[in-house]
């Protein structure tokens, strides 16, 4: 079954809109994309051949401020995926009360097949193709799947060279030496730990005694796994695209991180207490906390009934479809939705943006303290609204965001 990510995202808005009796005209406005650009990105390969890749940049909404959203390099990138993720970012920034909108971009490419030179040329040419869509007062980019601080450095440099001066605020997630913020790389994982600990306190669970399963061992999953182990949690299974590893007695996360840094696959790690596991098997593994931190649409109507946990903490964007949400709700599984669960990333990206604008940089303790304050305040709003309306945390979160976006739309009016 092929799931259209944009249609799935709009379904979540429909559910929230019905709960708050959102004006139909406003609902239609919020479900539309402001603008979308499709570009050809030609580069000369190392062997002298010409390859032309397809790229995108989407602005879902700039009602509340400049667009904010990642750049994804993946062979599975599509325009509908970009539109869905831009929509999610619009609602995420509104939920956190940040003066930003939502955007997303990417290139359909398998970066594993590119040399470092080819990757740099691709990034710089893509930046030139979308240069009229981005800027610190228009749309601020950030790392996403298969992009990182180096990618952002290339984008910032390319943009700055065209403008004739250094403009560090055009992207976030940069290296610290050229305007990046300390704590940004770990922010999504760090924020998830803050939220999970807070939720467990509310539900009277002892986090230190909980078993955890994590799908994805990249920039988010590895940080979460490491911090969970620091909190004495028992991480019993982890997977990546090619498969994963399971141990009922718990995994040695430090050893697995070293194993990955050496270029190895998780499924090839051998120890007397562990065994390989597929992604499908991982998602149905009995545990206390399931953390999908890989890609979208991993939990859907075909496997939601097999999920066996108390809490789902969404580290990836849109890992759960709206149909699966209904099944999980019937099973009384608490789902902490992506719109709040992984929002530590955009939160600290905003901090980096304002640090760049002010040329004044913060220490790590301030970054984490400010992030924790915003995330826990927003989560409390969601939790209270959920109880008040007898709705899921996801529906409550979208409803709060929709109200804020509707208010901004009302106050600004419709031009002309």
**Which CATH number is 321's domain given?**
3.40.50.720
Residue 250 has pLDDT above 70, yes or no: yes
CB burial string 348-380: b at 16+ within 10 A, e below: bbbbbbebbeeeebbeeeebbebbbebbeebbe
Query: pLDDT above 90 covers what percent of the chain?
Result: 82
CA distance 69 to 365: 25
- Confirm whether 370 is domain-assigned: no
- Confirm whether 371 is domain-assigned: no
Q: What is the pLDDT of residue 1?
A: 57
Q: Catalytic residue positions?
A: 104
Picking from 282, 315, 341, the residue at the C-terminal end of a domain is 341
pLDDT in tens, 254-267: 899 999 889 888 88
Burial of 31 (0-12, 13-18, 19+ CB in 10 A): middle
Spatial CA neighbour of 402 closest among 11, 27, 137, 24: 27
Q: What is the DSSP letter of 180?
A: P
The whole-number average pLDDT for the span 334-363 is 96
pLDDT in tens, 155-203: 999 999 999 999 999 999 999 999 999 999 999 999 999 999 999 999 9
CB atoms within 10 A of CB 300: 18
41 and 28 within one domain: no
Q: What is the pLDDT of residue 219?
A: 85
Contact partners, residue 349, CB within 8 Å, separation at least 6: 68, 140, 142, 172, 173, 181, 184, 187
Q: Are 57 and 69 in contact (CB under 8 A)?
A: no
* pLDDT band at residue 269 under the 50/70/90 scheme: confident
Residue 231 has pLDDT above 90, yes or no: no
Picking from 178, 207, 227, the residue at the C-terminal end of a domain is 178
Q: To which H or E segment does residue 61 belong?
A: strand 50-61
CA distance 127 to 130: 5
208 and 174 within one domain: no
Residue 377 has pLDDT above 90, yes or no: yes
21 and 39 within one domain: no
**DSSP line for 376-411:** HHHHHHHHHHHHHHT--HHHHHHHHHHHHHHHHHHH
197 and 268 within one domain: yes
The residue range of the domain holding 72 is 35-178
The whole-number average pLDDT for the span 204-217 is 92
The whole-number average pLDDT for the span 79-87 is 95
Q: Are 224 and 189 in contact (CB under 8 A)?
A: yes
337 and 192 within one domain: yes
40 and 21 within one domain: no
If you average pLDDT over every residue of the chain, what do you get?
A: 94
Q: What is the pLDDT of residue 230?
A: 82
CA distance 66 to 317: 20
262 and 217 within one domain: yes
Residue 3 has pLDDT above 80, yes or no: no
* pLDDT band at residue 310 under the 50/70/90 scheme: very high
226 and 97 within one domain: no
Q: Structural domain tally of the chain? A: 3
pLDDT in tens, 6-61: 988 898 899 999 999 999 999 999 999 999 999 999 999 999 999 999 999 999 99
């Amino acid at each position: 079954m092929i799931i259209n990510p944009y249609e799935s995202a709009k379904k979540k808005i429909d559910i929230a809109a019905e709960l708050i009796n959102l004006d139909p005209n406003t609902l239609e406005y919020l479900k539309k994309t402001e603008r979308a650009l499709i570009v050809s990105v030609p580069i000369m390969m190392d062997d002298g051949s010409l390859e032309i890749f397809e790229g995108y940049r989407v602005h879902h909404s700039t009602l509340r401020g400049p667009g904010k959203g990642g750049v994804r390099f993946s062979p599975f990138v599509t325009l509908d995926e970009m539109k869905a993720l831009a929509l999610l970012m619009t609602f995420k920034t509104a939920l956190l009360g940040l003066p930003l909108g939502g955007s997303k971009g990417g290139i359909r490419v398998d970066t594993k097949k590119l040399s470092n030179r080819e990757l740099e040329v691709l990034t710089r040419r893509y930046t030139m193709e979308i240069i009229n869509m981005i800027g610190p007062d228009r749309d601020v980019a950030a790392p996403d799947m298969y992009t990182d601080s180096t990618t952002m450095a290339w984008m910032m440099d390319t943009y700055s060279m065209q403008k004739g001066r250094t403009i560090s605020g055009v992207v976030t997630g940069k290296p610290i030496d050229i305007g990046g913020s300390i704590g940004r790389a770990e922010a999504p994982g760090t924020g998830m730990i803050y939220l999970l600990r807070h939720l467990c306190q509310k539900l009277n669970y002892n986090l230190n005694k909980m078993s955890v399963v994590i799908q994805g061992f990249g920039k988010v999953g590895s940080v979460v796994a490491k911090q969970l182990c620091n909190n004495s949690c028992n991480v019993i299974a982890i997977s990546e695209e090619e498969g994963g590893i399971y141990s009922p007695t718990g995994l040695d996360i430090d050893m697995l991180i070293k194993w990955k840094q050496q270029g190895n696959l998780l499924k090839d790690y051998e120890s007397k207490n562990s065994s390989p596991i597929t992604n499908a098997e991982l998602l149905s593994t009995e545990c206390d906390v399931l953390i999908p931190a890989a890609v979208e649409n991993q939990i859907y109507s075909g496997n939601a009934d097999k999920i066996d946990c108390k809490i789902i903490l969404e580290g990836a964007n849109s890992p759960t479809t709206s149909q699966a949400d209904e099944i999980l709700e019937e099973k009384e599984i608490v789902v902490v939705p992506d719109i709040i669960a992984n929002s530590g990333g955009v939160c600290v990206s905003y901090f980096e943006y304002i640090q760049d604008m002010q040329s004044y940089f913060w220490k790590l303790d301030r970054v984490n303290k400010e992030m924790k304050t915003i995330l826990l305040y927003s989560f409390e709003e969601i939790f209270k609204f959920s109880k008040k309306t007898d709705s899921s945390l996801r529906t409550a979160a979208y409803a709060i965001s929709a109200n804020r976006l509707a208010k901004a739309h009302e106050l600004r009016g419709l031009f002309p």
